[in-house]
Structure 1
Amino acid sequence: MELMTNQRFRKSAKIFRALLFIGLIAAAVGMLAYFLLIGYVKLLGPPPLAVPQSTLYMADDGTVIGESHNGQKRYWVPLKEISPELVKATISIEDRNFYAHSGFDYKRIAGAVIADIKAMSKVQGASTITQQYARNLYLGHDKTWRRKIAEAFYAFRLEVNYSKNEILEGYLNTIYYGNGAYGVQAASQYYFGKDARELSLAEASMLAGIPKGPGIYSPFASLEKAESRQETVLRAMVSKDYINSRRAEKAAAEELVLVGQHREILGQAPYFQDAVRQALKNGLGLDDRTIELGGLKVYTTLNLKQQEMAEQAVENMISKDSEIQTGFVAMDPKTGHVKALVGGRSYEESSFNRATQAVRQPGSTIKPILYYAALEQGFTPATMMKSEMTTFRFEDGTADYTPHNFNNKYAEGDITMAQALALSDNVYAVKTHLFLGEDVLPETAKKFGIKSEMEEVPSLALGTSGVRVIEMANAYSMLANGGKQLDPVLIQRVESHNGDVIYEHKPDGEHVLQPELASVMNHMMTGMFDENLNGYASVTGSSMSDKISRPYAGKSGSTNTDSWMIGYTPQLVAAVWTGYDKGKPIELPAEKGYSKNIWLNFMENALKDEPVKKFKAAKGTVGVYINPENGKLATEGCPVKVMTHFIEGTEPQEYCNEHLDQHHEGEEEMHHEKREKKPWYRRIFGR
């Protein structure tokens, strides 16, 4: 008997040792498999978390002006900007052990497996927040074992590569809350008309209960079921010690104000938004899907007040019966920031952007660029040339060219460049252009940031090669800022869906124009409003001169089919084009004045509360009074005197001798006082 007992004992020991050995091998294999899985997951790297989200466009004050999406409302908000009550409510009802497990709640899984076996089908879920997030990102919602295994794998990858807070933030921003609202921000706005960070305990507990069955527990599907689910959430929060029973009872009894409407972003400044999208695509190299569904936050340069003023000016100044169209751009000349942009009278009727896409003849608005080039070649505001009907003949076979002034009026004598610009004399401009060489103006235009191609022909001096409105606004901005290089800036900063800055504009500020020449041009361009420069015709801004409240520099321009007005102060530049889309001639007098009226209305309103700033004389320039009739230094007896700025040393030295009835000595003394004072050493030793 004893022998048999020993044999059984030895046999049991062998079986135990075998089982122990097999168990150790299995454990070793399991550990190896686990570490191999971790290594494989690490090798794969973190799975992408990107989901389609609305891209938001913001004005310069942070106001949302528009969005893009695929019909689903999605807005990503950081975890710290989500109500703590909602976070706690979600964890309590969806995954109470979220911070304790490694992606799987094995106790819940075991219970779900038993229920499924009893029912012989997949009837009960035990998914953690991590598993649900994995399903939302990568998988469908079918209840199959194959999908469940894939879900577990992705959940494991998430847990290995991301922190708990990153997973929770992603889950809350992707879970479906019904009625087209994905994520807590869209849901908070839809159900309660507020941001996720503003939710109360009552609102948070109601919202946290919806994802289990949006078609059942939405208060708009069944308020009774929604409130019952809310109480379940609150009890879960009590059991988790997030709140006490008293707070739960109070929250359950609170009467909620439900909105049931998505926060619609009306889409202000649609032409501007289109231009921003093009800048994202062409300037930053982003693809269409990223722009539309990447959840970007695009901080633009748009000033909402100025945009409204621009749109109002267009609406008020163009007759409703007219088919005239317009392109408008306002810029800050110091930064290049586009503050307002109008691409047409009605975006709904035509989305063609006439501010950035239309190429139209600039007419005489090209002349300041021409005359800047002339200043570089030694011209001065007092340089005289004859204004008379002139036919230009060329030895290279180019056809004869006869430019005409407005109404065929000419001085029939010499005029200064300052007066030629103020009166917009075409003969003077063509003579200057041909004297400099036909290649000079196109090359100078490039320095002014104009990228449109220009044809080297005599008529180029009168603006016969097409340009874009935004290019001209940019060119004049470079004069206004003293010659610093600019490109029109529409976007200040772009952030990804998780708040990373993927682009930020950094100004360079390199001088490409000579500051002293830009200063001379600024002062010379105030002449279009100065009726002291009237001659054989009135200055081109005479209709506005009694309506302006501050010094402006500018230039108008017109062709048979185009009407322009571009003008500026040191703070703001605005460029306006009006005309017919199909190039139909502008014939009605009222239509010819639309561009000036829009410009004047906008500038006066936009600068109403801004300080009046004059154009400062740059270092190396000097201002003297001249007689505009002959370009000489004005004397006491001259009937008209105009303060004119020159590069120091190029100002006229000869006094006007046409009014000899005054004492010459007194005249000379007066005009020496009128000159801007030179440094003491120059007064003593000369130049």
Structure 2
Amino acid sequence: MELIPSERFKRTTKYVRAIIILTTIGLIILFVLLLSLLMYAKILGPPPLVVPQSTLYYSADGNVIGETDNGQKRYWVGMDAISPQLIKATVAVEDRQFYTHNGFDIKRIGGAILADIRAMSKVQGASTITQQYARNLFLGHDKTWSRKFNEAFYTIRLEMNYTKKEILEGYLNTIYYGHGAYGAQAASQYYFGKDALDLTLAEASMLAGIPKGPSNYSPLDNLEKAKSRQKVVLLAMKNQSYISEKNITEAQQAPLSLKGEHGTVTHKTAPYFQDAVKQALKSQLHLNDRTIELGGLKVYTTLDESQQDAAEEVVSATIPDSSGIQASIVAMDPSTGEVRALVGGRNYAESPFNRATQAVRQPGSTMKPLLYYAALENGFTPSTTLKSETTTFSFDDGHSSYTPHNYNHQYADGEITMAQAIALSDNIFAVKTHLFLGEKTLVDTAHRFGITAKMAAVPSLALGTSGVRAIEMVNAYSILANGGKKVKPVFIKKVENQKGEVIFAQNKKSEQILDADKAFVMTQMLTGVFDETLNGYTKVTGSTISSQLTRPYAGKSGSTPTDSWMIGYTPKLVAGVWTGFDQGKKIENPAEKSYAKKIWAAYMEKGLQGTPAKSFKETKNVIGVNVNPASGKLATKDCPVSRLTYYVKGTEPVEYCAEHFRGEKPTHLPDEPEQKKTPWYKKVLKPWH
């Protein structure tokens, strides 16, 4: 009988030993698992902090002109851009042991468990700032065991790979403050209309209390509850020795000026321009849509807000609301290609289709300067003469014919100079020049000028029958305006990522692609469009707007049955205007045909107002002489009209005009040669004279 207790003791000892062994093994396994988890977390490294952030667009003046988001207003700022009061208030009320724990507050977790047991429900939270940050970054708010495990794992990874400052910065930039405002900067702007750095103690303590329940503690929705929550925050700050009792009283009594409006961008400036910027981000930087929309980029554009306002105002003032005519404007700095203003239509809300960058329309006679530049390269000069008369051209080895007409079927019925042909927009002269050079020459020249559209090498190409985009035509004129240097339309100066790192900067390179002297000669001929000394069988095409112009301009208008154009420039600004119907309907109303010129003249004058008027600077290898516009010969004192005309040195006329002298041959005229030689170009073009 005495052996029974001994047996029981032995059996009990055996069980205790087993329990101890199993517990030890379990603790070892748990330790190994925890160590493995930590090693795995370390091997994985820092979790990617991909946070949707608003992308901001800036004008050339540094003003915010637009932003993109998915309904979450969030602007990432560094700790030095957040009020110290908000930082202290957040730590005090959300996680007072933040700087000492390793991601988990064990004491707080234990307290929360006891509180929940006593209440038989979940009444107290124990999440640290790091845990909340992990949840905001990577997880939802569903209450499942898998979510809790992932939250713990991401918390470990954050604590192992980021400093406390970096974690707190991330938390303050991702936490939700209600009303679509994510992060301290967006919330500060929404509630108080100021940056997060400028928050007072009263504002900071009010803001820090909102994340616990944005719908309950928003001062805009329930000021009484918000004030009560503010007091909790202030007391927590006092307990951490951040503030004094006096500070609490002052903060509670301080008046609050609530705004309740997202103020970064109140309206979208230049929406067509911004669409073009986004397209440039895709094509030039190869960014995807999500990065562009939510990547927290800062995009510094070339937009000049005053130029943009001028462009929008003149379109609105010129075209009546009842008109179905559409319009586009592109304005560029010819020296850099930077786009200063862009209007892609009359109403973005009704139609976001960008007629400045997307529409392909016939340019009409605005194509002629490119043709005549090619002619200058092939021996033509401003004094080159051809006959302007009704002409039928045969081509395609005689199998086809083409009969172009001048506006209103008006012709000189005699010879005119190239300078006058440009000013009057003579179509016969243009087609003759085009066929002499060879149809392929204009195609190649247009491509040199940056036009990418496919063009049909046919006689009518000289009159702009192949479609182009407005922005490419304006860019082509920029090359003439800057003296023949290659440029491309530039919308973006610089792009920064969410960390403030520059990921793109515009690199300006100067490449001479045209002869500078011939480019100047071409520009000087284009000033004739507004000079009535070049009037001939009809008035110069710019005569209807020349009275509105207060400085030297070069330009060219163009029209087809469905399109109306005006493109022109000064040394510092080039702009092009297109008007027409989207459906390609004919423009029948004479007033509607004049819209493009009126818009262009009003825009250029308004856009350049207050800037000094500058003439086009002649190049070194050109010479200016006074000529009779009708004959292209050197003018005498007896010529009724003369015009200063520029030529590449060595190509200027040497023969004086003898049509207007009175009496005997004047002594200032040189002797005529015994036998005149027929100019080379007239021999080639003899069939069309």
Same fold (TM over 0.5): yes
1:327-372 Cα offsets, whole Å, 9 max, x none, are 1111111111111111111112222111111111100000001111
Q: Which residue of the partner structure matches residue 609 of structure 2?
A: 608
Name the aligned partner's letter for residue 518 of structure 2. Answer: L
1:401-434 Cα offsets, whole Å, 9 max, x none, are 1111111111122211111111101011001111
Q: How does 1:153-552 map to 2 (within 5 A)?
A: 153-263=153-263, 265-394=266-395, 396-552=397-553
CA contact (8 A) 1:134 1:158 kept: yes
In the TM superposition, residue 491 of structure 1 has moved relative to its aligned partner by: 1.7
Mean alpha-carbon deviation: is it higher for 656-665 or for 52-61?
A: 656-665
Q: Which residue of the partner structure matches residue 77 of structure 1?
A: 77
Name the aligned partner's letter for residue 331 of structure 1. Answer: M
Name the aligned partner's letter for residue 590 of structure 1. Answer: A
Q: Which residue of the partner structure matches residue 65 of structure 1?
A: 65
CA contact (8 A) 2:390 2:428 kept: yes
In the TM superposition, residue 142 of structure 1 has moved relative to its aligned partner by: 3.0
Change in CA separation of 1:48 and 1:413 when aligned onto 2, cut-off 3 Å: same
> What TM-score results when the alignment is normalised by the length of structure 2?
0.90
1:312-338 Cα offsets, whole Å, 9 max, x none, are 101111123321111111111111111
Q: Which residue of the partner structure matches residue 678 of structure 1?
A: none
Mean alpha-carbon deviation: is it higher for 594-603 or for 173-182?
A: 173-182
1:576-603 Cα offsets, whole Å, 9 max, x none, are 0111111111122111110000000010
- CA RMSD, 1 decimal: 2.5
Mean alpha-carbon deviation: is it higher for 225-234 or for 70-79?
A: 70-79
- Paired with 1:35 and 1:623, the residues of 2 have a C-alpha distance of 87
Name the aligned partner's letter for residue 385 of structure 1. Answer: L
Secondary structure of 2:402's aligned partner: coil
CA contact (8 A) 1:633 1:653 kept: yes
Q: Which residue of the partner structure matches residue 51 of structure 1?
A: 51
1:602-638 Cα offsets, whole Å, 9 max, x none, are 1001111111111011122221111112111222222
Q: Which residue of the partner structure matches residue 13 of structure 1?
A: none
- Paired with 1:530 and 1:592, the residues of 2 have a C-alpha distance of 21
CA contact (8 A) 1:562 1:578 kept: yes
In the TM superposition, residue 248 of structure 1 has moved relative to its aligned partner by: 2.4
Name the aligned partner's letter for residue 374 of structure 2. Answer: A
- Paired with 1:70 and 1:243, the residues of 2 have a C-alpha distance of 38
Q: How does 1:655-666 map to 2 (within 5 A)?
A: 655-661=656-662, 664=666
Secondary structure of 1:513's aligned partner: coil
Secondary structure of 2:623's aligned partner: strand
Secondary structure of 1:49's aligned partner: coil
- Paired with 2:668 and 2:234, the residues of 1 have a C-alpha distance of 95
Q: Which residue of the partner structure matches residue 571 of structure 2?
A: 570
CA contact (8 A) 2:639 2:661 kept: no
In the TM superposition, residue 393 of structure 1 has moved relative to its aligned partner by: 1.3
Name the aligned partner's letter for residue 260 of structure 1. Answer: G
- Paired with 2:140 and 2:321, the residues of 1 have a C-alpha distance of 54
Over the matched positions of the two proteins, sequence identity in percent amounts to: 63
Name the aligned partner's letter for residue 630 of structure 1. Answer: S
Change in CA separation of 1:498 and 1:110 when aligned onto 2, cut-off 3 Å: same
1:120-143 Cα offsets, whole Å, 9 max, x none, are 655432211111000011112234
1:164-222 Cα offsets, whole Å, 9 max, x none, are 22211211111111222211122112211222222111101100011111122222332
CA contact (8 A) 1:302 1:338 kept: yes
- Paired with 1:616 and 1:570, the residues of 2 have a C-alpha distance of 8
Name the aligned partner's letter for residue 45 of structure 1. Answer: G
- Paired with 2:233 and 2:132, the residues of 1 have a C-alpha distance of 18
- Paired with 1:19 and 1:665, the residues of 2 have a C-alpha distance of 133
CA contact (8 A) 1:405 1:426 kept: yes
Mean alpha-carbon deviation: is it higher for 20-29 or for 563-572?
A: 20-29
In the TM superposition, residue 35 of structure 1 has moved relative to its aligned partner by: 5.7
> What TM-score results when the alignment is normalised by the length of structure 1?
0.90
Mean alpha-carbon deviation: is it higher for 646-655 or for 606-615?
A: 646-655
Q: Which residue of the partner structure matches residue 101 of structure 1?
A: 101
Mean alpha-carbon deviation: is it higher for 365-374 or for 539-548?
A: 539-548
Name the aligned partner's letter for residue 127 of structure 2. Answer: S
- Paired with 2:159 and 2:665, the residues of 1 have a C-alpha distance of 96
Mean alpha-carbon deviation: is it higher for 24-33 or for 267-276?
A: 24-33
Mean alpha-carbon deviation: is it higher for 20-29 or for 198-207?
A: 20-29
In the TM superposition, residue 520 of structure 1 has moved relative to its aligned partner by: 1.2
Name the aligned partner's letter for residue 114 of structure 1. Answer: L
- Paired with 1:101 and 1:517, the residues of 2 have a C-alpha distance of 75
Secondary structure of 1:286's aligned partner: coil
Mean alpha-carbon deviation: is it higher for 333-342 or for 504-513?
A: 504-513
CA contact (8 A) 1:67 1:265 kept: no
Change in CA separation of 1:282 and 1:608 when aligned onto 2, cut-off 3 Å: same
Change in CA separation of 1:229 and 1:24 when aligned onto 2, cut-off 3 Å: same
CA contact (8 A) 1:636 1:667 kept: no
Secondary structure of 1:355's aligned partner: coil
- Paired with 1:655 and 1:627, the residues of 2 have a C-alpha distance of 9
In the TM superposition, residue 74 of structure 1 has moved relative to its aligned partner by: 2.3
Secondary structure of 1:182's aligned partner: coil
How many residues in Structure 1 have an aligned counterpart in Structure 2?
655
- Paired with 1:18 and 1:613, the residues of 2 have a C-alpha distance of 100
Mean alpha-carbon deviation: is it higher for 38-47 or for 434-443?
A: 38-47
CA contact (8 A) 1:309 1:605 kept: yes
Secondary structure of 1:502's aligned partner: strand
- Paired with 2:166 and 2:329, the residues of 1 have a C-alpha distance of 45
- Paired with 1:486 and 1:38, the residues of 2 have a C-alpha distance of 56
In the TM superposition, residue 117 of structure 1 has moved relative to its aligned partner by: 4.6
Change in CA separation of 1:150 and 1:546 when aligned onto 2, cut-off 3 Å: same
CA contact (8 A) 1:122 1:144 kept: no
